[in-house]
Structure 1
Amino acid sequence: MIDHVRDLASVRDATERLLTAAAKLDNASLGEPSRLPGWSRGHVLAHIARNADALVNVLEGRPMYASGEARDTDIERDAPRPLETQLTDLHASAARFQAVGAAPADWSRTVELRNGVTDSAAMVPFRRWTEVELHHVDLGIGYALEDLSAEFTQREIDFLTARFRGHPDVPAFLVEEDDGRRIPSGRREGEPVIVTGRQADLLGWLCGRRDGSELSTDGGPLPTLPPL
Protein backbone atom coordinates (compact mmCIF):
# COMPACT_ATOMS: atom_id res chain seq x y z
CA MET A 1 0.00 0.00 0.00
CA ILE A 2 1.21 3.49 -0.87
CA ASP A 3 2.02 5.57 2.22
CA HIS A 4 1.63 9.13 0.94
CA VAL A 5 2.59 10.63 4.32
CA ARG A 6 5.91 8.80 4.28
CA ASP A 7 6.44 9.77 0.66
CA LEU A 8 5.78 13.44 1.48
CA ALA A 9 8.53 13.22 4.11
CA SER A 10 10.84 11.68 1.50
CA VAL A 11 10.01 14.53 -0.88
CA ARG A 12 10.89 17.04 1.82
CA ASP A 13 14.22 15.34 2.54
CA ALA A 14 15.09 15.07 -1.17
CA THR A 15 14.22 18.73 -1.69
CA GLU A 16 16.48 19.78 1.17
CA ARG A 17 19.35 17.81 -0.38
CA LEU A 18 18.71 19.50 -3.70
CA LEU A 19 18.54 22.99 -2.18
CA THR A 20 21.75 22.43 -0.21
CA ALA A 21 23.56 21.25 -3.34
CA ALA A 22 22.17 23.97 -5.59
CA ALA A 23 23.14 26.69 -3.10
CA LYS A 24 26.80 25.88 -3.82
CA LEU A 25 26.39 26.89 -7.47
CA ASP A 26 26.78 30.40 -8.85
CA ASN A 27 25.01 32.39 -11.55
CA ALA A 28 27.51 31.40 -14.23
CA SER A 29 27.17 27.68 -13.56
CA LEU A 30 23.39 27.91 -13.87
CA GLY A 31 23.84 28.72 -17.54
CA GLU A 32 26.03 25.69 -18.16
CA PRO A 33 24.56 22.56 -19.78
CA SER A 34 22.83 20.03 -17.58
CA ARG A 35 22.74 16.32 -18.37
CA LEU A 36 19.45 16.83 -20.20
CA PRO A 37 19.94 17.67 -23.89
CA GLY A 38 19.13 21.29 -24.65
CA TRP A 39 18.62 22.29 -21.03
CA SER A 40 20.91 24.35 -18.82
CA ARG A 41 21.01 23.83 -15.06
CA GLY A 42 18.72 26.85 -14.87
CA HIS A 43 16.17 25.02 -17.00
CA VAL A 44 16.28 22.02 -14.66
CA LEU A 45 15.77 24.14 -11.54
CA ALA A 46 12.95 26.07 -13.19
CA HIS A 47 11.26 22.82 -14.18
CA ILE A 48 11.50 21.41 -10.65
CA ALA A 49 9.82 24.52 -9.23
CA ARG A 50 7.07 24.63 -11.85
CA ASN A 51 6.45 20.89 -11.46
CA ALA A 52 5.69 21.43 -7.76
CA ASP A 53 3.04 23.97 -8.67
CA ALA A 54 1.72 21.69 -11.41
CA LEU A 55 1.24 18.86 -8.92
CA VAL A 56 -0.52 21.28 -6.54
CA ASN A 57 -2.91 21.88 -9.44
CA VAL A 58 -3.40 18.13 -9.81
CA LEU A 59 -4.18 17.62 -6.13
CA GLU A 60 -6.58 20.57 -6.12
CA GLY A 61 -8.47 19.33 -9.17
CA ARG A 62 -7.15 21.73 -11.80
CA PRO A 63 -5.33 20.88 -15.05
CA MET A 64 -1.68 20.07 -14.36
CA TYR A 65 -0.56 22.68 -16.92
CA ALA A 66 -2.62 25.17 -18.90
CA SER A 67 -1.08 23.58 -21.99
CA GLY A 68 2.13 21.94 -23.12
CA GLU A 69 3.16 25.23 -24.70
CA ALA A 70 2.54 27.13 -21.46
CA ARG A 71 4.65 24.60 -19.55
CA ASP A 72 7.56 25.07 -21.93
CA THR A 73 7.18 28.85 -21.98
CA ASP A 74 7.28 29.04 -18.19
CA ILE A 75 10.46 26.98 -18.03
CA GLU A 76 12.16 29.12 -20.68
CA ARG A 77 11.05 32.27 -18.84
CA ASP A 78 12.41 31.11 -15.49
CA ALA A 79 15.62 29.39 -16.60
CA PRO A 80 17.83 32.55 -16.84
CA ARG A 81 17.01 33.79 -13.34
CA PRO A 82 19.87 34.35 -10.87
CA LEU A 83 20.64 31.68 -8.30
CA GLU A 84 19.06 33.48 -5.35
CA THR A 85 15.77 33.80 -7.23
CA GLN A 86 15.87 30.16 -8.30
CA LEU A 87 16.47 28.98 -4.73
CA THR A 88 13.69 31.17 -3.33
CA ASP A 89 11.27 29.83 -5.93
CA LEU A 90 12.30 26.23 -5.31
CA HIS A 91 11.77 26.63 -1.58
CA ALA A 92 8.42 28.41 -1.93
CA SER A 93 6.99 26.01 -4.52
CA ALA A 94 8.10 23.02 -2.44
CA ALA A 95 6.37 24.52 0.60
CA ARG A 96 3.17 24.95 -1.40
CA PHE A 97 3.28 21.29 -2.41
CA GLN A 98 3.88 20.16 1.17
CA ALA A 99 1.00 22.34 2.43
CA VAL A 100 -1.44 20.78 -0.03
CA GLY A 101 -0.12 17.34 0.86
CA ALA A 102 -0.78 17.98 4.54
CA ALA A 103 -4.37 19.11 4.01
CA PRO A 104 -7.21 16.64 4.71
CA ALA A 105 -8.15 14.86 1.49
CA ASP A 106 -9.39 11.62 -0.02
CA TRP A 107 -6.10 10.08 -1.07
CA SER A 108 -7.84 7.16 -2.76
CA ARG A 109 -9.41 9.44 -5.39
CA THR A 110 -8.28 9.41 -9.01
CA VAL A 111 -6.48 12.49 -10.31
CA GLU A 112 -5.49 13.50 -13.84
CA LEU A 113 -1.96 14.41 -14.84
CA ARG A 114 -0.64 15.35 -18.31
CA ASN A 115 -1.90 13.93 -21.60
CA GLY A 116 -4.88 12.22 -20.03
CA VAL A 117 -2.78 10.09 -17.67
CA THR A 118 -4.62 9.27 -14.45
CA ASP A 119 -3.42 7.90 -11.13
CA SER A 120 -4.36 7.63 -7.49
CA ALA A 121 -3.86 10.83 -5.53
CA ALA A 122 -1.73 8.79 -3.11
CA MET A 123 0.83 8.29 -5.90
CA VAL A 124 1.38 12.01 -6.49
CA PRO A 125 3.94 12.43 -3.65
CA PHE A 126 5.99 9.55 -5.09
CA ARG A 127 5.81 11.14 -8.53
CA ARG A 128 7.10 14.38 -7.00
CA TRP A 129 9.86 12.48 -5.20
CA THR A 130 10.88 11.07 -8.58
CA GLU A 131 11.03 14.54 -10.13
CA VAL A 132 13.24 15.90 -7.38
CA GLU A 133 15.64 12.96 -7.22
CA LEU A 134 16.15 12.35 -10.94
CA HIS A 135 16.45 16.04 -11.80
CA HIS A 136 18.96 16.46 -8.98
CA VAL A 137 21.01 13.86 -10.86
CA ASP A 138 20.37 15.76 -14.12
CA LEU A 139 22.03 18.89 -12.71
CA GLY A 140 25.40 17.16 -13.04
CA ILE A 141 26.79 18.52 -9.79
CA GLY A 142 28.01 15.35 -8.11
CA TYR A 143 24.74 13.57 -7.32
CA ALA A 144 24.50 10.30 -9.23
CA LEU A 145 22.03 7.45 -9.64
CA GLU A 146 24.27 5.46 -7.31
CA ASP A 147 23.53 7.99 -4.56
CA LEU A 148 19.78 7.32 -4.61
CA SER A 149 18.41 5.25 -1.76
CA ALA A 150 17.81 1.54 -2.28
CA GLU A 151 14.12 2.06 -1.48
CA PHE A 152 13.68 4.79 -4.06
CA THR A 153 15.64 2.94 -6.73
CA GLN A 154 13.61 -0.24 -6.30
CA ARG A 155 10.30 1.59 -6.30
CA GLU A 156 11.21 3.57 -9.41
CA ILE A 157 12.29 0.40 -11.21
CA ASP A 158 8.95 -1.17 -10.28
CA PHE A 159 7.10 1.98 -11.42
CA LEU A 160 8.86 2.18 -14.78
CA THR A 161 8.58 -1.50 -15.62
CA ALA A 162 4.85 -1.20 -14.91
CA ARG A 163 4.71 1.88 -17.16
CA PHE A 164 6.19 -0.04 -20.11
CA ARG A 165 4.24 -3.24 -19.41
CA GLY A 166 1.93 -3.99 -22.33
CA HIS A 167 3.47 -1.21 -24.47
CA PRO A 168 3.02 -2.33 -28.10
CA ASP A 169 6.32 -0.78 -29.24
CA VAL A 170 8.52 -2.34 -26.55
CA PRO A 171 9.63 -5.98 -26.97
CA ALA A 172 8.88 -8.25 -24.02
CA PHE A 173 11.60 -8.23 -21.35
CA LEU A 174 12.20 -9.27 -17.77
CA VAL A 175 14.27 -7.21 -15.34
CA GLU A 176 16.11 -9.68 -13.13
CA GLU A 177 16.79 -8.53 -9.59
CA ASP A 178 19.70 -9.53 -7.34
CA ASP A 179 17.40 -11.83 -5.36
CA GLY A 180 16.29 -13.65 -8.50
CA ARG A 181 12.94 -11.88 -8.81
CA ARG A 182 12.01 -11.11 -12.42
CA ILE A 183 9.81 -8.14 -13.27
CA PRO A 184 7.95 -8.44 -16.61
CA SER A 185 7.59 -5.49 -18.93
CA GLY A 186 7.11 -4.64 -22.58
CA ARG A 187 4.74 -6.49 -24.89
CA ARG A 188 2.81 -9.36 -23.38
CA GLU A 189 3.50 -11.64 -26.34
CA GLY A 190 6.83 -13.04 -27.45
CA GLU A 191 9.75 -14.62 -25.63
CA PRO A 192 11.05 -12.02 -23.17
CA VAL A 193 14.67 -10.94 -23.05
CA ILE A 194 16.14 -11.18 -19.55
CA VAL A 195 17.95 -7.97 -18.56
CA THR A 196 20.40 -7.96 -15.65
CA GLY A 197 22.71 -5.43 -14.08
CA ARG A 198 23.30 -3.17 -11.12
CA GLN A 199 20.23 -1.44 -9.72
CA ALA A 200 21.53 2.03 -10.62
CA ASP A 201 22.22 0.93 -14.20
CA LEU A 202 18.80 -0.71 -14.55
CA LEU A 203 17.15 2.47 -13.29
CA GLY A 204 19.30 4.62 -15.58
CA TRP A 205 18.26 2.59 -18.61
CA LEU A 206 14.57 2.55 -17.70
CA CYS A 207 14.42 6.31 -17.06
CA GLY A 208 16.50 7.28 -20.10
CA ARG A 209 19.56 8.48 -18.20
CA ARG A 210 21.85 5.65 -19.40
CA ASP A 211 22.05 3.79 -22.69
CA GLY A 212 22.04 0.32 -21.15
CA SER A 213 25.57 -0.54 -22.25
CA GLU A 214 26.35 -1.55 -18.65
CA LEU A 215 23.56 -4.15 -18.69
CA SER A 216 23.54 -7.76 -19.86
CA THR A 217 20.88 -9.88 -21.55
CA ASP A 218 20.45 -13.62 -22.00
CA GLY A 219 21.33 -13.32 -25.66
CA GLY A 220 18.71 -11.10 -27.26
CA PRO A 221 19.16 -7.39 -27.99
CA LEU A 222 18.42 -4.89 -25.26
CA PRO A 223 14.97 -3.40 -25.99
CA THR A 224 14.81 0.21 -27.12
CA LEU A 225 12.60 2.16 -24.75
CA PRO A 226 10.47 5.17 -25.74
CA PRO A 227 11.14 8.49 -24.02
CA LEU A 228 9.23 9.17 -20.81
Structure 2
Amino acid sequence: MLDHARDLESLREATERLLTAAARLDNASAAAASRLPGWSRGHVLAHLARNADALVNVLEGRPMYPDAATRDADIERDGPRPLDAQIEDVRATADHFQRVAAVPADWARTVALRNGVTDVAARVPFRRLVEVSLHHVDLGIGLELEDLSDDFTAREIDFLTERFAGHADVPPLALATPDGHTWRTGRADGTAATVTGPPADLMGWLAGRRTGSALKTSNPALPVLPPL
Protein backbone atom coordinates (compact mmCIF):
# COMPACT_ATOMS: atom_id res chain seq x y z
CA MET A 1 0.00 0.00 0.00
CA LEU A 2 1.31 3.43 -0.95
CA ASP A 3 2.05 5.80 1.93
CA HIS A 4 2.86 9.18 0.41
CA ALA A 5 3.49 10.78 3.83
CA ARG A 6 6.13 8.17 4.67
CA ASP A 7 7.70 8.60 1.25
CA LEU A 8 7.82 12.38 1.71
CA GLU A 9 9.75 11.94 4.94
CA SER A 10 12.14 9.46 3.28
CA LEU A 11 12.54 11.96 0.45
CA ARG A 12 13.38 14.76 2.87
CA GLU A 13 16.11 12.63 4.46
CA ALA A 14 17.51 11.50 1.09
CA THR A 15 17.61 15.07 -0.21
CA GLU A 16 19.49 16.24 2.86
CA ARG A 17 22.03 13.41 2.44
CA LEU A 18 22.59 14.40 -1.18
CA LEU A 19 22.96 18.10 -0.39
CA THR A 20 25.37 17.40 2.46
CA ALA A 21 27.51 15.21 0.22
CA ALA A 22 27.39 17.64 -2.71
CA ALA A 23 28.45 20.53 -0.47
CA ARG A 24 31.83 18.81 -0.01
CA LEU A 25 32.59 19.28 -3.71
CA ASP A 26 34.19 22.34 -5.26
CA ASN A 27 33.49 24.03 -8.57
CA ALA A 28 36.03 21.91 -10.43
CA SER A 29 34.69 18.60 -9.15
CA ALA A 30 31.10 19.75 -9.81
CA ALA A 31 32.10 20.38 -13.42
CA ALA A 32 33.75 16.95 -13.71
CA ALA A 33 32.05 13.99 -15.35
CA SER A 34 29.31 12.13 -13.52
CA ARG A 35 28.59 8.45 -14.05
CA LEU A 36 25.93 9.34 -16.62
CA PRO A 37 27.38 9.54 -20.15
CA GLY A 38 27.59 13.11 -21.39
CA TRP A 39 26.59 14.71 -18.09
CA SER A 40 28.79 16.48 -15.58
CA ARG A 41 27.88 16.44 -11.91
CA GLY A 42 26.48 19.90 -12.53
CA HIS A 43 24.12 18.48 -15.15
CA VAL A 44 22.89 15.90 -12.61
CA LEU A 45 22.25 18.58 -10.00
CA ALA A 46 20.53 20.82 -12.55
CA HIS A 47 18.31 17.92 -13.60
CA LEU A 48 17.34 17.26 -9.98
CA ALA A 49 16.25 20.88 -9.56
CA ARG A 50 14.27 20.97 -12.79
CA ASN A 51 12.72 17.56 -11.99
CA ALA A 52 11.40 18.95 -8.69
CA ASP A 53 9.77 21.78 -10.64
CA ALA A 54 8.37 19.24 -13.11
CA LEU A 55 6.82 17.08 -10.40
CA VAL A 56 5.22 20.17 -8.86
CA ASN A 57 3.63 20.65 -12.29
CA VAL A 58 2.38 17.06 -12.15
CA LEU A 59 0.81 17.49 -8.72
CA GLU A 60 -0.82 20.76 -9.75
CA GLY A 61 -2.28 19.33 -12.96
CA ARG A 62 0.06 20.86 -15.53
CA PRO A 63 2.23 19.04 -18.10
CA MET A 64 5.39 17.70 -16.47
CA TYR A 65 7.60 19.46 -19.05
CA PRO A 66 6.54 21.70 -21.97
CA ASP A 67 8.36 19.26 -24.27
CA ALA A 68 11.49 17.13 -24.40
CA ALA A 69 13.55 19.82 -26.10
CA THR A 70 12.79 22.36 -23.37
CA ARG A 71 13.65 19.82 -20.66
CA ASP A 72 17.01 19.09 -22.27
CA ALA A 73 17.77 22.77 -22.94
CA ASP A 74 17.10 23.71 -19.32
CA ILE A 75 19.56 21.07 -18.08
CA GLU A 76 22.22 22.22 -20.57
CA ARG A 77 21.65 25.84 -19.51
CA ASP A 78 21.90 25.14 -15.79
CA GLY A 79 24.57 22.42 -15.78
CA PRO A 80 27.66 24.71 -15.87
CA ARG A 81 26.64 26.89 -12.92
CA PRO A 82 28.90 27.26 -9.84
CA LEU A 83 28.39 24.70 -7.11
CA ASP A 84 26.75 27.10 -4.65
CA ALA A 85 24.12 28.03 -7.25
CA GLN A 86 23.45 24.36 -7.94
CA ILE A 87 23.00 23.52 -4.26
CA GLU A 88 20.79 26.54 -3.63
CA ASP A 89 18.59 25.57 -6.59
CA VAL A 90 18.28 21.91 -5.58
CA ARG A 91 17.39 22.88 -2.01
CA ALA A 92 14.87 25.58 -2.98
CA THR A 93 13.07 23.41 -5.52
CA ALA A 94 13.09 20.40 -3.17
CA ASP A 95 11.51 22.53 -0.43
CA HIS A 96 8.91 23.78 -2.89
CA PHE A 97 8.02 20.22 -3.86
CA GLN A 98 7.65 19.26 -0.19
CA ARG A 99 5.32 22.23 0.44
CA VAL A 100 3.12 21.42 -2.54
CA ALA A 101 3.01 17.72 -1.63
CA ALA A 102 1.94 18.60 1.92
CA VAL A 103 -1.27 20.25 0.72
CA PRO A 104 -4.33 18.03 1.33
CA ALA A 105 -5.30 16.40 -1.96
CA ASP A 106 -6.92 13.41 -3.61
CA TRP A 107 -3.92 11.10 -3.59
CA ALA A 108 -5.85 8.40 -5.47
CA ARG A 109 -6.24 10.60 -8.56
CA THR A 110 -4.45 9.80 -11.82
CA VAL A 111 -1.64 12.14 -12.86
CA ALA A 112 0.26 12.46 -16.14
CA LEU A 113 4.04 12.03 -16.25
CA ARG A 114 6.37 12.04 -19.28
CA ASN A 115 5.87 10.26 -22.59
CA GLY A 116 2.20 9.46 -21.98
CA VAL A 117 2.88 7.58 -18.73
CA THR A 118 0.22 7.94 -16.03
CA ASP A 119 0.26 6.97 -12.37
CA VAL A 120 -1.56 7.64 -9.14
CA ALA A 121 -0.63 10.85 -7.33
CA ALA A 122 0.36 8.91 -4.22
CA ARG A 123 3.33 7.41 -6.08
CA VAL A 124 4.80 10.80 -7.06
CA PRO A 125 6.76 11.28 -3.80
CA PHE A 126 8.37 7.87 -4.30
CA ARG A 127 9.20 8.72 -7.91
CA ARG A 128 10.95 11.84 -6.63
CA LEU A 129 12.76 9.72 -4.02
CA VAL A 130 14.00 7.50 -6.84
CA GLU A 131 15.30 10.54 -8.73
CA VAL A 132 17.18 11.84 -5.70
CA SER A 133 18.56 8.43 -4.67
CA LEU A 134 19.70 7.13 -8.06
CA HIS A 135 21.15 10.49 -9.11
CA HIS A 136 23.04 10.68 -5.81
CA VAL A 137 24.68 7.43 -6.90
CA ASP A 138 25.22 8.90 -10.38
CA LEU A 139 27.24 11.75 -8.87
CA GLY A 140 29.93 9.24 -7.88
CA ILE A 141 30.63 10.87 -4.53
CA GLY A 142 30.33 7.93 -2.17
CA LEU A 143 26.81 6.50 -2.30
CA GLU A 144 26.34 3.16 -4.08
CA LEU A 145 23.24 1.17 -5.01
CA GLU A 146 24.04 -1.28 -2.22
CA ASP A 147 23.69 1.57 0.29
CA LEU A 148 20.01 2.08 -0.56
CA SER A 149 17.46 0.37 1.68
CA ASP A 150 16.07 -3.08 0.94
CA ASP A 151 12.55 -1.61 0.85
CA PHE A 152 13.56 1.06 -1.66
CA THR A 153 15.33 -1.45 -3.90
CA ALA A 154 12.43 -3.92 -3.91
CA ARG A 155 9.91 -1.15 -4.66
CA GLU A 156 12.01 0.19 -7.52
CA ILE A 157 12.38 -3.29 -9.01
CA ASP A 158 8.59 -3.64 -8.70
CA PHE A 159 8.16 -0.39 -10.63
CA LEU A 160 10.72 -1.15 -13.33
CA THR A 161 9.45 -4.66 -14.00
CA GLU A 162 5.94 -3.23 -14.27
CA ARG A 163 7.16 -0.64 -16.77
CA PHE A 164 8.82 -3.32 -18.95
CA ALA A 165 5.91 -5.78 -18.64
CA GLY A 166 4.40 -6.41 -22.07
CA HIS A 167 7.08 -4.30 -23.80
CA ALA A 168 7.52 -5.58 -27.35
CA ASP A 169 11.30 -5.10 -27.23
CA VAL A 170 11.83 -6.99 -23.96
CA PRO A 171 11.76 -10.81 -24.09
CA PRO A 172 9.90 -12.68 -21.35
CA LEU A 173 12.00 -12.63 -18.19
CA ALA A 174 11.76 -14.22 -14.76
CA LEU A 175 13.86 -12.29 -12.25
CA ALA A 176 14.89 -13.58 -8.83
CA THR A 177 17.13 -12.66 -5.92
CA PRO A 178 18.93 -15.10 -3.60
CA ASP A 179 16.48 -14.26 -0.80
CA GLY A 180 13.54 -15.57 -2.83
CA HIS A 181 11.96 -12.43 -4.30
CA THR A 182 10.69 -12.99 -7.84
CA TRP A 183 9.33 -10.83 -10.66
CA ARG A 184 8.06 -11.38 -14.22
CA THR A 185 8.47 -8.82 -16.95
CA GLY A 186 8.82 -8.42 -20.71
CA ARG A 187 6.58 -9.99 -23.31
CA ALA A 188 3.99 -12.50 -22.19
CA ASP A 189 4.66 -14.91 -25.09
CA GLY A 190 7.32 -17.60 -25.02
CA THR A 191 9.42 -19.21 -22.32
CA ALA A 192 10.83 -16.77 -19.80
CA ALA A 193 14.60 -16.61 -19.42
CA THR A 194 15.73 -16.53 -15.82
CA VAL A 195 17.85 -13.66 -14.52
CA THR A 196 19.17 -13.98 -10.97
CA GLY A 197 21.42 -11.92 -8.76
CA PRO A 198 21.67 -9.50 -5.84
CA PRO A 199 18.86 -6.93 -5.58
CA ALA A 200 21.15 -3.93 -6.14
CA ASP A 201 22.51 -5.48 -9.33
CA LEU A 202 19.05 -6.33 -10.63
CA MET A 203 17.84 -2.80 -9.94
CA GLY A 204 20.97 -1.31 -11.45
CA TRP A 205 20.56 -3.31 -14.64
CA LEU A 206 16.86 -2.50 -14.98
CA ALA A 207 17.53 1.18 -14.31
CA GLY A 208 20.38 1.40 -16.82
CA ARG A 209 23.04 1.92 -14.14
CA ARG A 210 24.84 -1.42 -14.45
CA THR A 211 25.72 -3.79 -17.27
CA GLY A 212 24.35 -6.84 -15.48
CA SER A 213 27.77 -8.50 -15.34
CA ALA A 214 27.02 -9.70 -11.79
CA LEU A 215 23.78 -11.37 -12.88
CA LYS A 216 23.27 -14.93 -14.09
CA THR A 217 20.89 -15.80 -16.90
CA SER A 218 19.65 -18.99 -18.54
CA ASN A 219 20.11 -17.34 -21.93
CA PRO A 220 23.52 -16.92 -23.56
CA ALA A 221 23.41 -13.19 -22.77
CA LEU A 222 21.22 -10.63 -21.04
CA PRO A 223 18.89 -8.73 -23.35
CA VAL A 224 19.57 -5.07 -24.05
CA LEU A 225 16.79 -3.17 -22.31
CA PRO A 226 15.22 -0.16 -24.05
CA PRO A 227 15.45 3.26 -22.38
CA LEU A 228 12.66 4.08 -19.96
Q: TM-score range by the shorter chain?
A: over 0.9
Task: Report matched runs for 1:64-79 at 5 Å.
Answer: 64-79=64-79
Q: Deviations over 1:78-105 (max 9, x none)?
A: 1111111111111100000000110010
Q: Is the 8 A contact 1:193 1:221 kept in 2?
A: no
Query: 1:182 maps to what in 2?
Result: 182
State the SS of the aligned residue for 1:16. Answer: helix
Note the 1:160-175 alignment, pairs <5 A. 160-175=160-175
Structure 2 letter corresponding to 1:71? R
2:106 counterpart letter in structure 1 = D
SS, match of residue 171 in structure 2: coil
- How many pairs align? 228
Residue 9 of structure 2 corresponds to residue 9 of structure 1: yes
Matched residue of 2:39: which SS?
coil
Residue of structure 1 in register with 2:227 after alignment: 227
Matched letter for residue 180 of structure 1: G
Secondary structure, aligned partner of 1:175: strand
Alignment of 1:35-184 (within 5 A): 35-184=35-184
| 1:3-59 alpha-carbon deviations (Å, 9 max, x no partner) | 011011111111000000000000011110100000000000000010000000000
Give yes or no for contact 1:34–1:44 (8 Å, CA) kept in 2.
Answer: yes
Separation of aligned partners in 2, 1:85 and 1:183? 42
Contact 1:11 1:128 in 2 (8 A): yes
Counterpart residue identity of residue 172, structure 2? A
* Matched residue type, 1:76: E
SS at match of 1:65: coil
* TM-score normalised by structure 1 residue count: 0.98
1:152-211 superposed Cα distances (whole Å, 9 cap, x missing partner): 111101110111011111000011123334210000011001111111111110000111
- Between the aligned residues of both structures, percent identity stands at 67
- Deviation of the 1:219 alpha carbon: 4.2
C-alpha separation in 2, matches of 1:92 and 1:40 = 21
Secondary structure in structure 2 of the residue aligned to 1:152: helix
Find the aligned partners of 1:212 and 1:128 in 2 and give their Cα distance: 25
Q: For residue 205 of structure 1, what is the amino acid of its counterpart?
A: W
Structure 2 distance, partners of 1:166, 1:66, is 28
RMSD (Å) for aligned C-alpha atoms: 0.9
Residue 193 of structure 1 contacts residue 220 of structure 1 at CA under 8 Å; is this kept in 2?
Answer: no
Note the residue ranges of structure 2 that are not aligned, 5 or more in a row: none
1:193 and 2:193 matched:
yes
Q: Distance in 1 between matches of 2:49 and 2:173?
A: 35
Counterpart of 1:208 in 2: which secondary structure? Answer: coil
Read off the aligned partner of 1:18 and give its amino acid letter: L
For residues 170 and 87 of structure 2, the distance between their equivalents in structure 1, rounded to whole angstroms, comes to 39
